[in-house]
Amino acid sequence: MSSEQAHRSVEVAARVERRWATIAVIIVVGMALLAAFAGIHRATMPQPRVETTDPSRIHLSGEFVESNLGSVLEANGNVTVRAIGQQYSFTPACIVVPADTPITLRATSADVVHGILIQGTNVNTMLVPGYISEQLMRFTKTGDYLMPCQEFCSFGHEGMWGKVRVIDKTDFANRAKAGGRLSCVGQ
Amino acid sequence: MSTRDLFTFSNRHFTIGVGVIAGILVVTGIAGFIVLPFAQPWVQFANVWDAICSAAGVPQRAANVTAPEQAKRLSEVVLTSRTLSRPSQEAIGRGATLAQRCAICHGPTGISRADSPNLAGQYAAVIYKELHDFRSGARTNAVMSPFAVNLTDEEIADLSNYYAYLPRLPAYHPTPQLPKPNIVIYGAPMRGIAPCGACHGSLDNKTGSPWLEGQSEAYLKVQLQAFAAGDRRNDISQQMRNIARAMTPQEIEAAAAYYASQPPDVVKAVD
Amino acid sequence: MLVNRKLILAHFWLAFAVFGVALTLGAWQMFIRSPIGTWLSNPELYYRSLTAHGTVMGYVFPTLVAMGFGYAISESALEQRLVGVRWAWTGFWLIVIGSVMAVIPIALGRASVLYTFYPPLIGNVFYYLGVVLVVVGSWIWVALMSINLRVWRKAHPGAPVPLAMYANVAGSYLWAWTAVGAALELLLQIIPVAAGLKNTIDAGLARIFFSWTLHAIVYFWLMPTYIAYYTIVPRAIGGRVYSDSMARISFILFLVVAMPIGMHHTFADPQVGAGFKFIHSAFTALVALPTLLTVFTICASVEIAARLRGGRGMFGWIRALPWDNPMMLALAFSFVMLGFGGAGGLINMSYQLDASIHNTQWITGHFHLIFGGAIVIMYFAIAYDLWPHLTGRELIDIRLIRTQLWLWFVGMIVTTFPWHWVGILGMPRRMAYFDFGDPAIAPQALSVTFSAIGGFILLTSGIMFIVILARGMRTPKVDAGPYRFAIAVHQSATVPVALNTHALWVALMIVLTITNYGYPILNLALGAGTSVPAVYVGAQ
């Protein structure tokens, strides 16, 4: 191979390489844009704020006292669910929510790191002691959903399964009339 | 070009490297801290600065929420893994004196001759918590409550340390050891029941949960039933009610009978 | 020029020995939690095993492979005796001592906290100290790689650093900096609590520190594999590296952007701001770039080999490849697994999609496919390729080697594909048993059974691997000749300074760490008031 030929082939190689690199950059930028776009048009965004709390005192005051755990119908028609994870259960162990309603889940951990995962949905958040997790959700289908703890929380982790029951919107409204915090515990 | 020129803008690699990285940082920073927060109509920010601080993760204390009035008194004890973990000999001695009045029901060696709980060698945090709860009324018992009402914080701590210090002895009326029922070994995962031992000592101890080996069968059964029915509710954030409620009556009986039949030496020590 | 063969062999043998043990534990775990196993009467045993499996596979095994391979590269690519052999042995023994120190509390059930630590769960202090010693031992290796390159540069001023060594040193720097996150978490947060000096800990901050290490560590595991792609495979199959500078750029990109992206592990965490999550998400997309470049360069290099062997046509050349060559086979398997694993990774990096699979079995499936599959199969190939040069003996069981690679590939696919699937169904990670009798999760039973069978295929393959290497210590002596690396099609006499040194890129890596991690860490470290009581596991 003459030196001129060698020089030309280096150029060819570099050109092909540049083309590929351009394609790769376009793929990468496309993916990042997709994430941003999806963030704007779908509700699955990370929670907007970092909020803190003291896990060993949550049962004494604040929003995670026992009488405030469960679902409540807000004045604007939305629903707020408050729950805690602890070794080795969620309280309420069965969460009841209406279908087709914007729901805010607020939850925290009373001891170690736990996680909330509602099977068959993309509701999925960590519960880190000291911090409050907030997640927006909306269910379209009524029925029972399993809600396992998704992070190792010591030796009883395999037994930490909660439940979510999605009921008809009007049923929920009727039950909410009695006041208090709703759950499907023991039903 | 020499190594010295590496960090100058005459170096193409430096310019491109720093430029691209800085560019990406600026663009993603603007997108992540300003555009995306405001693109979410379901979140309200006071102003741009609030949006930026929130996106940066500046910790905020949760807003005050008015919770519905509590129907019944609940436990107000704060427990951590270090609650009462280093008792002094004097504390134990004071506890021994105080414990004389407990001996009628709980036995002179901390082993009950009736169906009251055995306390010898129980975890200190457990006795500490239950005494506080009896005192505050979060847990009630016709016999026990009057004893607890007049205890001071220090007396509660001393009693807890004393009983924790006592050697673990076999039950007063030992029964033949029963095999472990499934509910105790495995729990029932899909009903949200972890193995009992995960909290109650044989696998691990969750602070505030007692070890149960050798306790009275009748006592254990009554307590489980009370938790299940919600009559007893001094378990913080329903940690035991959640479990007991999901147990069947047969499982409650099996678990109570099993624990009553066990010698105390299978429990792991704390510390 | 491999002089310190004993040193390198010691690293490889220890690596593969602990790998064998951890692999056995892994297979047992797959079995015991599947529908064909029986529920453990003591779930702690599962978590104990899982801690050992993760600690060995995550911290000890790949570190030893990278170190042994690094010493081999330093001696053979630079053609220079290793400087600091005594220090190298010190590093090796630190790892041995650290591993033993960590494994004893695990074996006694005193540290069943899993290899991710996740405070406020706290295990025995010696477990953490052991992990620290392992890391310290590996830092000696980092220093030695840097020193050896410097010594060589002095003797060869201005000469291009051989690609293998350039990449190897980049990998060592990446590791040095990556390990700092977990080291800070261990030294500042966990060890004081485990030793009883403190009893509260910020669980959220610990997760941020750990994410600093947890993602880039994957690229440290990946480095030997990529070095093998670029500098061993083309030589072994009779081709050339398509482009030397593209290769350097890929390794540089890993060095710069592998680190400041770890928070995509914390998308679902409440203690990290959404803005930083977005930045990390975008940078995670960027780290796909070096992999895409590598796929192109390696495919092109392989095509060169095929055409040199007489391959023709648009795709016809693929048939001309030396498919009976174990290196070719390993590369192909590795690429297939990298492709699937990488596609899964793209899902994990976007926080919209991540929400569907975060902390499900999908994640375990994903990193087993990438690490256990794409990466480890190249570790096998590296060992096979180096072995004759280390032992002075031939590996004669080529058929067995091919079978072993096939089994690993098939086993990994059978294990991880159903694993991904049950993850999509929402099966959570890290549980000692599942009640598959319940109709709600009964549909997952079949997939989990397949995974368990895959686990045993992998175990079989792993045993074969160790047997092949052991038999390779007993075959007749041969002269394997000097150990060589692939050369580029256009080997230029000079390389731009930026592509021949690491300083600029290390500086960028550190700056990016500060921009992407500095605020989130300081934010919580300085007075967020979020320390929580420690929870000591195993009633200690």
Per-residue pLDDT reduced to its tens digit, C489-526 = 887 778 888 999 999 999 999 999 999 999 999 999 98
Beta bridge partners of B200: B205
Closest in A50, A155, A163 to B203, CB measured: A155
Side chain identity, residue C104: I
Chain C positions in Cβ-Cβ contact with residue A146 (cut-off 8 Å): 426, 440-441
**Omega prior to B87 cis, within 30 of 0:** no
Q: B38-51 pLDDT, tens per residue?
A: 888 878 888 999 99
Contacting A residues, span 37-96, partner chain C, CB-CB under 8 Å: 38-39, 42, 44-48, 50-52, 54-56, 87
Q: Which stretches in chain B have pLDDT values below 50?
A: 1, 269-271
Chain B positions in Cβ-Cβ contact with residue A180 (cut-off 8 Å): 68
Q: Do residues A69 and C290 touch, judged by C-beta distance below 8 A?
A: no
State both tokens at C69. 């391979």
Beta pairing class for A50-52 and B59-61? parallel
User: Looking at the 3D structure of chain C, how many domains does it have?
Assistant: 1
Contact C270 A112 (CB under 8 A): no
pLDDT score at B271: 38
Q: Do residues B246 and B191 touch, judged by C-beta distance below 8 A?
A: yes
Contact C275 B198 (CB under 8 A): no
Chain C positions in Cβ-Cβ contact with residue B12 (cut-off 8 Å): 496, 498
Contact C283 B24 (CB under 8 A): yes
Between vectors from CA C233 to CA A15 and to CA C149, what angle results, nearest 5°?
85
pLDDT score at B268: 56
Q: Taking CA atoms, what residue in C is nearest to B57?
A: C273
Q: How far is CA C458 from CA C29, C335, C415, C454, in A?
A: 13, 18, 8, 6
Chain B positions in Cβ-Cβ contact with residue A105 (cut-off 8 Å): none
Contact C358 A146 (CB under 8 A): no
C-alpha A78/C-alpha A68 separation (Å) is: 16
Q: How far is CA B250 from CA B221, B254, B256, B257, in A?
A: 10, 6, 10, 11
Interface with A, mutate which of B64, B236, B240 (most A CBs under 10 A): B236
Chain C positions in Cβ-Cβ contact with residue B2 (cut-off 8 Å): 497
Tell me the torsion sign for CA atoms C357, C359, C360, C363: positive
Chain A positions in Cβ-Cβ contact with residue C494 (cut-off 8 Å): none
Distance of residue C109 Cα from the nearest chain B Cα, in angstroms: 10
Q: Tally Cβ neighbours within 10 Å of residue A26.
A: 10
Residues in CB range of C200: below 8 A, 6 or more apart: C193, C531, C532, C533, C534
pLDDT score at C350: 80
pLDDT score at A3: 63
pLDDT score at B2: 60
Q: Which residues of C does the annotation mark as catalytic?
A: 215, 219, 366-368, 429-430
Q: B201-259 pLDDT, tens per residue?
A: 888 888 899 999 999 999 999 999 999 999 999 999 999 999 999 999 999 999 999 99
C456 lies within 8 A of chain A by CB: no
State both tokens at B179. 């095999």
C308 lies within 8 A of chain A by CB: no
Q: Which structural domain, as residue segments, surrounds residue C99?
A: 5-536
Side chain identity, residue C262: G
CATH of region B182-266, choose from 3.30.160.100, 3.40.50.2000, 3.90.25.10, 1.10.760.10: 1.10.760.10
pLDDT higher than threshold 60 for residue A43: no
Chain B positions in Cβ-Cβ contact with residue A60 (cut-off 8 Å): 76, 78
Contact C204 A130 (CB under 8 A): yes
The b-or-e profile of C139-159 (16+ CB within 10 A means b, else e) is: bbbbebbeebbebbbeeeeee
Q: A66-95 pLDDT, tens per residue?
A: 999 999 999 999 999 999 999 999 999 999
C-alpha B131/C-alpha B99 separation (Å) is: 13
C-alpha B178/C-alpha B172 separation (Å) is: 17
3-state secondary structure of C75: helix
C-alpha C532/C-alpha A52 separation (Å) is: 11
Interface with A, mutate which of B26, B77, B207, B237 (most A CBs under 10 A): B237
ipTM above 0.85, yes or no: yes
Q: C165-179 pLDDT, tens per residue?
A: 999 999 999 999 999
Chain C positions in Cβ-Cβ contact with residue B25 (cut-off 8 Å): 279, 512, 515
Contact C114 A123 (CB under 8 A): no
Beta bridge partners of A162: A147
Q: Do residues C181 and C210 touch, judged by C-beta distance below 8 A?
A: yes
Dihedral of CA atoms B139, B144, B146, B149 in degrees, nearest 10, equals: -50
Q: Taking CA atoms, what residue in B is nearest to C198?
A: B82
Contacting C residues, span 177-216, partner chain A, CB-CB under 8 Å: 202-204, 207
Contact A186 B31 (CB under 8 A): no
Map out the domains of chain B as residue ranges: 8-56, 89-165, 182-266
Between vectors from CA A112 to CA A107 and to CA A115, what angle results, nearest 5°?
45
Closest in A64, A86, A157 to B239, CB measured: A86
Give backbone dihedrals phi and psi of C280, rounded to 5 degrees, phi first: -65, -35
Runs of H (alpha helix) within C33-124: 43-55, 61-77, 85-107
Contacting B residues, span 7-66, partner chain C, CB-CB under 8 Å: 7, 11-14, 17-18, 21, 24-25, 28-29, 31-33, 36-37, 52, 54-59
Contact A181 B68 (CB under 8 A): yes
Side chain identity, residue A143: G
Q: Do residues C110 and B204 touch, judged by C-beta distance below 8 A?
A: no
pLDDT score at C540: 42
Q: Taking CA atoms, what residue in B is nearest to C517?
A: B56
C-alpha C347/C-alpha C299 separation (Å) is: 24
Contacting A residues, span 125-184, partner chain C, CB-CB under 8 Å: 125-134, 144, 146, 148-158
pLDDT higher than threshold 70 for residue A121: yes
Q: Taking CA atoms, what residue in B is nearest to C523?
A: B58
Q: Taking CA atoms, what residue in C is nearest to B2?
A: C497
Nearest-CA neighbor of A151 among A124, A131, A133, A130?
Answer: A124
State both tokens at B208. 């505030």
Distance of residue C96 Cα from the nearest chain A Cα, in angstroms: 28
State both tokens at A112. 């170690």
CATH of region A51-176, choose from 2.60.40.420, 3.90.1150.10, 1.10.3720.10, 3.40.50.300: 2.60.40.420
Map out the domains of chain A as residue ranges: 1-42, 51-176
Runs of H (alpha helix) within C317-397: 326-349, 351-357, 361-367, 376-391
Distance of residue C281 Cα from the nearest chain A Cα, in angstroms: 8
Residues in CB range of B256: below 8 A, 6 or more apart: B217, B218, B220, B221, B224
Distance of residue A54 Cα from the nearest chain B Cα, in angstroms: 10
Tell me the torsion sign for CA atoms C525, C531, C536, C540: positive
CATH architecture for residues B89-165: Orthogonal Bundle (1.10)
Mean pLDDT score, A140-146: 95
C-alpha C85/C-alpha C83 separation (Å) is: 6
B185 lies within 8 A of chain C by CB: yes
Q: Which stretches in chain C have pLDDT values below 50?
A: 540
Contact B81 C440 (CB under 8 A): no
Closest in A31, A48, A87 to C346, CB measured: A31
C-alpha A171/C-alpha A187 separation (Å) is: 15
3-state secondary structure of A112: coil
What is the CATH number for C326? 1.20.210.10
Chain C positions in Cβ-Cβ contact with residue A32 (cut-off 8 Å): 281-282, 285
Distance of residue A149 Cα from the nearest chain C Cα, in angstroms: 7
Q: Do residues C530 and C524 touch, judged by C-beta distance below 8 A?
A: yes
Mean pLDDT score, A147-156: 95
Contact C539 B6 (CB under 8 A): no
The b-or-e profile of C96-123 (16+ CB within 10 A means b, else e) is: bebbebbbebbeebbbbbbbbbbbbbbb
Instruction: State the DSSP string of B58-111.
Output: -EEEPPP--PPPPSS--------TTTT-S--HHHHHHHHHHGGGGHHHH-TTS-
Q: How far is CA C154 from CA C148, C158, C159, C392, C493, in A?
A: 10, 9, 10, 31, 17
pLDDT score at C287: 87
Mean pLDDT score, A42-67: 87
> How high is the mean pLDDT of chain A?
90
